[in-house]
């Protein structure tokens, strides 16, 4: 137990088993990002998966929309302590984009329009755990929430769910992305409060 602050009682004790430690429930949908919001036009949008051998597979916006989509309803958790329950999305499972590829990569670097990057283990994007999402709450994803498309990996802190996603680079070696380079945790499990390096 930490040092007790006299008189502090706290009140956000929902006891909700779906809330990871240190998180509070947000009713709104806060926005956090490091620079201006890129306005990405779907006419020129392209999504690429590149394997560690350099094989590149690309999808246009129309091709992405033509793929089988799923409608996950998931809880999301931001490193800045808010969580949001039962968020409703629509998107293409990463399995659909990566499943057929010939790869021995264990890691993925996610790239975004605007230059943002974040790294994850490939296994965390497969088996129905991650999507390229293009709808939120039944509507097209707005630019400030990452539209036209963002990565959605609800079991990790939300900085891993890169907005304005542009591609996945499969890699045999793990390398830090944007926030990971400035001290955020390499993996980011909200249930273990992996906020920063060393957590």
Partner 1 sequence: MARTAVSGRLAWRVARLAEFRDETPTARTLVFDLPGWPGHLAGQHVDVRLTAADGYRAQRSYSLATPANGDRVELTVQRVADGEVSEHLTGPYAIGDPVEIRGPIGGWFAWRPTNPEPVLLIAGGSGIVPLMSMIRARRAAGVRTPFKLIYSLRTPAEQYYADELRTPVAGLDITYVYTRELPEGRPGIPRRIDVATLNTAAWPAEFGATAFICGPTAFVETAADILLALGHDPHRIRTERFGPSRD
Stretch that binds partner 1, among 7-15, 47-55, 125-133, 166-174 (CB under 8 A): 7-15
Among 14, 18, 22, 175, binds partner 1 (CB under 8 A): 22
Among 42, 60, 81, 96, binds partner 1 (CB under 8 A): 81
- Describe the chain by its helix, strand, coil percentages, rounded to 5: 15, 30, 55
Residue 121 β-bridge partners: 107
CB atoms within 10 A of CB 155: 16
The distance of Cα 194 from the centroid of its chain, to the nearest Å, equals 15
How many whole angstroms separate alpha carbon 156 and alpha carbon 129? 10
68 near partner 1, rule: CB under 8 A: no
172 near partner 1, rule: CB under 8 A: no
16 near partner 1, rule: CB under 8 A: no
Nearer to partner 1, 4 or 17 (CB): 4
144 near partner 1, rule: CB under 8 A: yes
Residue 88 β-bridge partners: 73
Q: What is the CA radius of gyration of the chain?
A: 17
CB of 199 to partner 1, least distance (A): 7
Q: Is 74 helix (H, G, I), strand (E, B) or coil?
A: strand
What is the token pair recorded at 152? 């959605």
Contact (Cβ atoms closer than 8 angstroms) between residue 107 and residue 119: yes
155 near partner 1, rule: CB under 8 A: no
Nearer to partner 1, 9 or 44 (CB): 9
Contact (Cβ atoms closer than 8 angstroms) between residue 190 and residue 77: yes
Nearer to partner 1, 99 or 183 (CB): 183
Among 17, 36, 68, 138, binds partner 1 (CB under 8 A): 36
Among 4, 17, 68, 100, binds partner 1 (CB under 8 A): 4
CB of 50 to partner 1, least distance (A): 23
6 near partner 1, rule: CB under 8 A: yes
CA dihedral 109, 167, 75, 77 (to 10 degrees): 40
Q: Which residues bind partner 1 (CB under 8 A)?
A: 1-13, 22, 24, 28-38, 80-81, 114-115, 142, 144-145, 182-183, 195-199
């Amino acid at each position: 137990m930490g040092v007790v602050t006299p008189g502090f009682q706290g009140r956000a004790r929902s006891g909700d088993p779906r809330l990871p430690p240190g998180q509070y429930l947000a009713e709104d949908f806060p926005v956090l990002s490091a620079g201006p919001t890129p306005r990405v036009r779907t006419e020129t949008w392209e999504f690429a998966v590149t394997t560690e051998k350099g094989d590149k597979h690309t999808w246009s916006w129309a091709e992405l929309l033509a793929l089988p989509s799923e409608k996950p309803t998931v809880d999301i958790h931001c490193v800045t302590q808010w969580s949001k329950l039962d968020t409703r999305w629509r998107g293409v499972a990463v399995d659909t984009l990566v499943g057929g590829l010939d790869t021995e990569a264990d890691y993925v670097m996610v790239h975004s329009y605007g230059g943002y990057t974040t790294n994850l283990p490939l296994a965390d994007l497969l088996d129905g755990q991650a999507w390229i999402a293009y709808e939120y709450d039944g509507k097209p994803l707005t630019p400030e929430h990452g539209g036209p498309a963002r990565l959605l990996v609800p079991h990790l802190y939300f900085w891993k769910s890169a907005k304005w996603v542009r591609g996945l680079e499969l890699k045999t070696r793990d390398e830090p992305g944007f926030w990971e380079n400035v001290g955020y945790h390499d993996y980011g499990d909200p249930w273990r409060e992996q906020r920063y390096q060393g957590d």
